[in-house]
Amino acid sequence: MLIVALVKGVPARTTKVVTVGGVLKREEMDIVLNPHDMKAIEAADYFRRAAGGKVIALSMGPDQKLAPIMRPLYESEVHGVDEQVILSDRRMAGSDTLATSYAVSLGVRKAIQRHTDAVEEVAQSIRKYGYSDAVKTRAAELYRSNLLPNRVYTELQPVTESIVGSFMGGGLTASEAVARLEEEKKRLSRFVVVTGVKTTDGETGSVGPQVAEALSEELGVQLPHATYVEDIQVDPFSMRVESERRIGYLSQRLEMELPALLTIAPDYRPRAPRASDQFEVRLNNFRGKTLQPIKWTAEDISADAQRLGLAGSPTIVGPGVEIGKPPVQKVVGRSLVFVKQVGEVESGGKKYGPFGRGDLADGLPHELVDALVSQGAVATFSLEMLAEELFA
């Protein structure tokens, strides 16, 4: 089973807007993991423990910013994620929810296809070489690349039943082994996508359902989805998911066949997996973790550039508002403020900053303020500055 957890990097304190169009310069901001996405990681971990498989964390944005904040996910919850994929391309910058959902859906599609293609490669080896060590060699390479589950090939001692192992041992004919591999491709195509309910920098709560719709279009299937999910149960044999969600005073229990998408509510609490299912879970599991993040560009996911970034974003966003700082009082003609960004500075053995444009400088040591004024970094708050802040 493949479990894709969608995560996002959001501004730690502020939303810096560089145009009236509302484009965030994420590469210049302090980025943290969207808090709501931790519930998606918890749900993904439950799926892995209850049904087996592999957890892939997928995000979109500048890879140099996302890689550090995604690294701790390898150790989060019980197992942590097994693999990380980052969609990073300048052509994706400025994407609204529609363009984001399109790109993410292509990333999910490629992640699933990598694994089904690996199973197909083993089947082709059997067709071509028959009972040859070449089949085992190639299966071992794919397994060690974390692309094959134990059910197809394994080096795990407690798991003795694998398709390649049974075939090489004479327990399966070539046609029987290929048929079993076809079943495994179908099993891997019955994936689940989990997301947080929303992001703190957008608050739309629409990307999850939009990804489900975009995946339905790309895969040619109707992908069911449920929002605000508070409880999940999964059967590792039938791959059916039961979820419970609460909307207002209404509580619903939904049963879905995979593939499916779930957005996970803040009240979600993972269940304990059934001990009786653990043998099936081990068969569905993969070798381990791929610690080096995978980066994909627009070409890698075969994206239409006209549906990415600003070109593919019909949403018009107004000016951004700085949030996350305590209220301050600026007096025209008296207060001293920063007129440009300044990094960390030192004075009298203490470090101060960094500072953004518009930050107050009144509380800093006098000698430091004098130096900053002489450098043109600090000036007296003026009517022009006030108008700029009020009207962006």
Q: Is the pLDDT of residue 253 over 80?
A: yes
Same domain, 10 and 92: yes
Query: Quick one: pLDDT at residue 17?
Result: 41
Q: Is the model more confident about 373 or about 328?
A: 373
Q: What is the mean pLDDT of residues 267-275?
A: 89
One domain for residues 349 and 206: no
At residue 319, the pLDDT reads 53
pLDDT at 346 (0 to 100): 87
Q: What DSSP string describes 78-114?
A: SS--SEEEEE--GGGTT--HHHHHHHHHHHHHHHHHH
Q: What is the pLDDT of residue 325?
A: 56
Residues 98 and 195 in one domain: yes
271 and 344 co-located in one domain: no
Q: What b/e sequence results for 259-290 when a residue is b if at least 16 CB atoms lie within 10 Å of its CB, and e otherwise?
A: bbbbbbbeebebeebeeebeebbbbbbbbebb
Average pLDDT of the segment spanning 303-332: 72
User: For the segment 72-128, what is each residue's pLDDT rounded down to a tens digit?
Assistant: 888 887 888 999 999 998 888 878 888 889 999 999 999 999 999 999 999 999 999
**362 and 281 co-located in one domain:** no
- % of the chain at pLDDT higher than 70: 90
The per-residue pLDDT for range 202-218, each reduced to its tens digit, is 677 788 889 999 999 99
Q: What is the pLDDT of residue 200?
A: 78
Domain boundary among 288, 307, 326: 307
Whether residues 86 and 204 share a domain: the answer is yes
Instruction: Give the number of C-alpha atoms closer than 13 A to the C-alpha of residue 234, restricted to the C-beta side.
Output: 29
What is the residue whose two structure tokens read 């003795």? 160
The mean pLDDT value for 51-70 works out to 90
Predicted confidence at residue 160, as pLDDT, reads: 63
pLDDT for the residue 197:
85
- pLDDT tens per residue across span 320-348: 555 555 566 788 888 899 999 998 888 88
Residues 56 and 196 in one domain: yes
- Count of the separate structural domains present in the chain: 2
Which CATH number goes with the domain that contains 258?
3.40.50.620
What per-residue confidence (pLDDT) applies to 120?
A: 96
214 domain-assigned: yes
**Residue 278, CB-side half-sphere exposure with 13 Å CA sphere:** 6
Please check whether residues 261 and 364 belong to one and the same domain: no
The verdict on residue 327 lying in a domain is no
In sequence order, what are the residues at sequence separation of 6 or more whose Cβ sits closer than 8 angstroms to the Cβ of residue 95? 60, 103, 308, 309, 310, 312, 313
Residue 199 lies in a domain: yes
pLDDT at 317: 61
Lowest mean pLDDT among 149-158, 265-274, 318-327: 318-327
> In this predicted structure, what is the pLDDT of residue 24?
55
> Is 150 inside a domain boundary?
no
| Amino acid, single-letter form, for residue 250 | L
Neighbours of 333 (CB within 10 A): 8
pLDDT score for 375: 92
Distance CA 369, CA 352 (A): 11
- Asked whether the bond before 266 is cis by omega within 30 degrees of 0, the reply is no
Statement: residue 189 has pLDDT above 90: yes
pTM score over 0.85: no
Q: Does any domain span residue 207? A: yes
End-to-end CA distance of the chain: 49
Residue 339 sits at the vertex; the CA angle it makes with 334 and 342, to the nearest 5 degrees, is 120
pLDDT at 326: 59
Residue 56 sits in the same domain as residue 195: yes
Query: Which pLDDT score, from 0 to 100, does residue 247 have?
Result: 83
268 and 385 assigned to the same domain: no
Q: What is the pLDDT of residues 43-58, one digit of tens each?
A: 999 999 999 999 999 9
176 lies in some domain:
no
d(CA 226, CA 244): 9
Q: What is the pLDDT of residue 195?
A: 93
Q: What is the mean pLDDT of residues 66-70?
A: 87
Q: How far is CA 205 from each of CA 23, 100, 198, 263, rounded to the nearest angstrom?
A: 19, 13, 4, 9
- Mapped onto helix, strand or coil, the DSSP state of residue 6 is strand
Q: 142 pLDDT exceeds 90?
A: yes
Q: Among residues 307, 322, 356, which one ends one of the domains?
A: 307
Query: In the predicted model, what is the mean pLDDT of the chain?
Result: 86
In which domain, by residue range, is 364 found? 336-391
Residue 55: half-sphere exposure toward Cβ, Cα within 13 Å: 29
pLDDT-based confidence at residue 20 (cuts at 50, 70, 90): very low
Indicate whether 294 and 342 sit together in one domain.
Answer: no
Asked if the structure places residue 220 within a domain, the reply is yes
